[in-house]
Structure formats: structure tokens, C-alpha cells
């Protein structure tokens, strides 16, 4: 459903994506791991057109992703994104954050959107926070609201850009468990993450990126436990044994 | 001596209060104009069309580069030559409104630019585009950020409204000057005038510092 073919991108003279090709099937959970600066967030941002690319082609189903193209609105309403720093709208309550897209972009009747938003908040375990404001919530709660906001668009896929990296360690679990249950329900997910245990248990496939290239990809058991490439082995050693 | 002083105060105060009323009227009329115009300049400045941005930049710099007094003279004395006859109050409102639109536009622009880029990305990621993002996401946050400096501009505008006395608007400074010219009680009259401005600006100053505390604490 997401098809990435030979993507290149540079910021000035700095090449951040150097020929990335990737296919993501419907219902697949794909984790992208790699050192910072490897281009893993950039590829995610290219998929829903937050970032442009210089060369190659990204397609969502049969539609080409082009920031300035006619399909960009279709793409963004069908592929949602969850950000590292949550990016909730601080001036709106939790439930207003969730219904913003359905009401103002998809033109759903407010009552219907509110009803669905309540169900989604229940799904992420925050039904009693509907009227709170983002600043009154913990990071983990904010990120769960952000997931509910993404789900409210009824997306065909969700992109997660390091969704737990800005969280205190004790709050990581609640966000990952929401993500895990989404995966179990068959949501197509692309997750850029440093949570190796999540990748190991939930991902169908793990991609290791370094220097703007895909170094190695395969089932988590293979990539995480028995990586073939030296760079992957190196990275995993540093992640699992930081000292 | 003391009795003459209180006698003068009792005599001048009603006239000065009438002047103060005009000061308040012209301040709020020009505040309204400068807010609408200033927001317009700011939106043009951050728009995606370079021609609009350039036009707004040029207009704001032109306005900023001209003294308020000269702007007032121009509107009141020059416009009639091309057939536009305005009352002193209208000319004063227009002049102050235009002059302050430049300052207001910078306040709004700073507010708009202070909104976190992540907010725009989040809005884009749920399919929002240009105008909708501005109206639903950026402006509500930008205006909140802009409130304290906006309040400061309002205080300056209140005081600068005294400049419209030069084109015969019967506001507080003008009434003070008229009374002083006919009674020679300069000390009494201008002291009363100064107290009048203070009484009007102190509530605004308190409001601004309250806003600063409240909005500063939100971050």
C-alpha cells in the first residue's frame, strides 16, 4: 500500500536519503531503526509530504506523494502521523484536538465526530480526560491523545516518528501498549523507534538504516538477533550495551 | 491660596473630563482601525505570495518612517486639496490608526512566527491547508502570544492620541492647552491633565502586567 522507489534527498550538500526503496503491505507493522541522522525520520516525513524529496517516487496506493500535487490532501487524510513531541493543539481541549480533523477537514457532523472521539479516547484509556487541556496531561497521556487524533482521521496507515523518545521512561509503556493493540487490530504502521523490545515483539519487519541507506531488512528475529551487516551489529551493540 | 487651587480644580475638571472622554473615544476608534489594518499587514507579510509580503513590508516601513504628527497634518490639511474632507476626529482616528497599524503588524507577525513549527506540521498531517491552518491553529496561539505587547501598544496609543490636539481634536491635551491659554494657570491645568492620562493608563498597565504573568506561566 506504501511504495517507496529509489528516493534521494539532500539538505544542501548533506545527503540524507541516498536511494531508499521500500514496500509496505496493508496491515504490516514496520519498524525503522538506526542511528540519529540516518534519515529514518526524514523518510517518514516524505511519506506524508511534510518534506519533499529530490528524486524517486513515493506512492500511497495508486497516488503519488507530491507536496504541491493534487493528491496531497487525500494522502494526508489517509496517512496519519504521530510526532515525537506530540504537537497537540495547546489551545484546544483533548476532545477538540481529536475532532479537529474530522470536523474541519472531513466535514463530519460535530455530534458524530464527538461520539467517535469519545470512543477513541476510551480506546487509548483517556475517556475521563476529554475536557482537559494538553498542558494538564503527562507526556504519555498527551501522546495517547495524539494517537487518538491520528485515528480520528480513519487512516489507512499511521506513521510514528519516535513516539516515545520524548517521554520519561516510566511513561513509555502506556504508549507502546496502545500501539501494540493497534497493530493487533491490523493497522498498517511505520514506526521509527529506539524501542528494540517493541520492534522485536510487534514488528513484522525491521529495517536498519544508516547514512541515508537501508543497510539491512528482514524479520525482527533475524535483524535484531542475528544481523548480518557489521554496521547493524555495531548499532545494536551500542543500543543494548550503552556502557 | 489653597482655596483658589481647589476652586480651579472644581472649575477645570468637568471640561477636562469631556476632553478625556474624547481621548478614550479616539484611542479605541484608532485601536480598532490599527488592529484590523495591522493584522492585514501581518497576514500579507507571512503569506506565500512574495509580492504581497513585499508590499506589506514596504507599507509598514513607510508608515514607521513618518512621524505621527506629519501623518496627521497630511490627512487633515492635504487630503481636502484632493476633495477628501474629514472632521478633526475622523482625521485623527485615521492618522493614529494608520501609524499604529505598523506597530500592531510587527506585534502580530512576531506572534505568528513564535508559533511552534510542530503545530503547523500537526495541522498539515491531518489534512489542513493554508487558510484553515492560519485560522484554526496559528492565529489563536499567535494572538495569545501577542497580547502583552499589544497591550503595551495600546498604552502608547492612548498617550500618542494627545498629538491629535495639533489638528484641533478636542481631547484631553487640547482642552488643557485651551484652559491654560485663557487662565494662565499652567501648573494646575497641566498637572490635572497629566493625572488624567495617568488615571487612564494605570488600569491598562496593570492589565498588561497581569496578562504577562498569566500567559508567561502557561509555557
Q: How would you write the pLDDT of chain A (243 residues) with one tens digit per residue?
A: 999 999 999 998 889 999 999 999 999 999 999 998 899 999 999 999 999 999 999 999 988 898 888 888 899 999 999 999 999 999 999 999 999 999 999 999 999 999 999 999 999 999 999 999 999 999 999 999 999 999 999 999 999 999 999 999 999 999 999 999 999 999 999 999 999 999 999 999 999 999 999 999 999 999 999 999 999 999 999 888 877
CA distance A207 to A199: 10
Give per-residue pLDDT as tens, B147-167.
Answer: 999 999 999 999 999 999 999
Q: What cell was used for B209? A: 502586567
Q: Which burial class, exposed, middle or buried, applies to B2 when counting CB atoms under 10 A from its CB (0-12, 13-18, 19+)?
A: exposed
Q: Does A101 touch chain B (CB under 8 A)?
A: yes
pLDDT score at A243: 79
**Chain B residues closer than 8 Å to A87 by CB:** 116, 118-119, 121-122
Half-sphere exposure of B137 (CA within 13 A, CB side): 29
Residue among A86, A175, A176, A101 nearest A134 (CA): A86
Instruction: Give the pTM.
Output: 0.87
**Chain A residues closer than 8 Å to B119 by CB:** 87, 89
Selected residue of B125, B144, B216 to mutate for chain A interface (largest A Cβ count, 10 A) = B125
**Residue B219 CB coordination number (10 Å):** 7
Residue among A53, A97, A107 nearest A77 (CA): A107
pLDDT score at B1: 63
Q: Nearest residue on chain A to B118, judged by CA atoms?
A: A87
Asked if B201 contacts B155 with a C-beta cutoff of 8 angstroms, the reply is yes
Q: What cell was used for B34? A: 490599527
Q: Do A105 and B136 touch (CB under 8 A)?
A: no
Q: Do A100 and B116 touch (CB under 8 A)?
A: no
Give per-residue pLDDT as tens, B59-106.
Answer: 999 999 999 999 999 999 999 999 999 999 999 999 999 999 999 999
Confidence grade of residue B216 (pLDDT, cut at 50, 70, 90): low
Section B161-182 average pLDDT: 94
Give per-residue pLDDT as tens, B184-212.
Answer: 999 999 999 999 999 999 999 998 888 88
Binding-face residues of A in 162-201 toward B, CB within 8 A? none
pLDDT score at B219: 42
Q: Please check the confidence at residue B131 and state whether its pLDDT lies above 50.
A: yes
**Chain A residues closer than 8 Å to B137 by CB:** 89
Helices B172-183 and B186-216: crossing angle, nearest 10°? Answer: 160
By Cβ distance, the residue of A49, A91, A100 closest to B126 is A100
User: Is residue A100 within a helix (H) or strand (E), and if so which, with residue range?
Assistant: helix A94-104
Q: SS3 of A15, please?
A: strand
Amino acid at each position: 500500500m506504501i511504495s517507496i522507489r529509489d528516493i534521494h534527498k539532500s539538505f544542501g550538500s548533506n545527503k540524507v536519503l541516498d536511494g531508499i526503496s521500500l514496500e509496505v503491505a496493508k496491515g504490516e507493522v514496520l519498524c525503522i531503526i538506526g542511528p540519529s541522522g540516518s534519515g529514518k525520520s526524514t523518510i517518514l516525513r516524505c511519506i506524508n509530504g511534510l518534506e519533499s524529496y529530490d528524486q524517486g517516487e513515493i506512492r500511497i496506493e495508486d497516488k503519488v506523494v507530491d507536496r504541491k500535487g493534487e493528491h496531497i490532501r487525500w494522502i494526508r487524510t489517509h496517512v496519519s502521523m504521530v510526532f515525537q513531541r506530540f504537537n497537540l493543539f495547546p489551545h484546544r481541549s483533548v476532545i477538540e484536538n481529536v475532532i479537529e480533523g474530522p470536523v474541519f477537514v472531513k466535514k463530519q457532523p460535530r455530534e458524530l465526530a464527538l461520539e467517535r472521539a469519545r470512543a477513541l479516547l476510551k480506546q487509548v484509556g483517556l475517556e475521563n480526560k476529554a475536557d482537559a487541556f494538553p498542558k494538564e496531561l503527562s507526556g504519555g497521556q498527551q501522546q495517547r491523545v495524539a494517537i487518538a487524533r491520528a485515528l480520528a482521521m480513519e487512516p489507512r496507515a499511521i506513521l510514528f516518528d519516535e513516539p516515545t523518545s520524548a517521554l520519561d521512561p516510566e511513561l513509555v509503556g502506556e504508549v507502546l501498549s496502545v500501539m501494540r493493540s493497534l497493530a493487533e487490530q491490523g493497522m498498517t504502521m511505520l514506526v521509527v523507534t529506539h524501542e528494540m523490545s517493541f520492534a522485536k515483539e510487534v514488528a513484522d519487519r525491521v529495517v536498519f538504516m544508516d547514512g541515508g541507506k537501508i543497510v539491512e531488512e528482514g524479520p525482527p528475529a533475524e535483524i535484531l538477533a542475528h544481523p548480518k551487516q557489521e554496521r547493524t551489529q555495531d548499532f545494536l551493540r551500542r543500543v543494548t550495551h550503552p556502557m | 491660596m489653597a482655596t483658589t487651587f481647589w476652586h480651579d480644580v472644581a472649575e477645570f475638571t468637568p471640561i477636562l473630563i469631556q476632553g478625556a472622554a474624547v481621548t478614550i473615544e479616539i484611542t479605541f476608534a484608532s485601536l480598532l482601525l490599527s488592529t484590523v489594518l495591522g493584522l492585514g499587514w501581518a497576514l500579507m507579510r507571512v503569506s506565500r505570495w512574495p509580492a504581497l509580503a513585499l508590499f506589506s513590508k514596504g507599507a509598514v516601513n513607510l508608515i514607521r518612517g513618518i512621524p505621527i504628527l506629519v501623518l496627521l497634518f497630511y490627512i487633515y490639511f492635504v487630503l481636502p486639496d484632493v476633495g477628501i474632507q474629514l472632521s478633526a476626529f475622523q482625521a485623527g482616528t485615521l492618522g493614529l490608526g494608520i501609524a499604529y497599524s505598523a506597530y500592531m503588524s510587527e506585534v502580530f507577525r512576531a506572534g505568528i512566527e513564535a508559533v511552534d513549527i510542530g503545530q503547523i506540521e500537526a495541522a498539515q498531517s491531518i489534512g489542513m491547508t493554508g487558510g484553515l491552518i492560519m485560522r484554526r491553529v496559528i492565529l489563536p496561539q499567535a494572538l495569545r502570544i501577542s497580547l502583552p505587547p499589544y497591550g503595551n501598544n495600546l498604552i502608547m496609543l492612548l498617550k500618542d492620541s494627545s498629538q491629535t490636539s495639533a489638528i484641533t481634536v478636542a481631547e484631553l491635551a487640547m482642552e488643557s492647552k485651551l484652559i491654560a491659554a485663557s487662565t494662565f494657570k499652567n501648573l494646575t491645568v497641566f498637572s490635572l491633565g497629566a493625572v488624567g492620562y495617568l488615571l487612564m493608563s494605570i488600569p491598562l498597565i496593570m492589565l498588561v502586567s497581569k496578562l504577562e504573568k498569566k500567559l508567561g506561566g502557561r509555557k
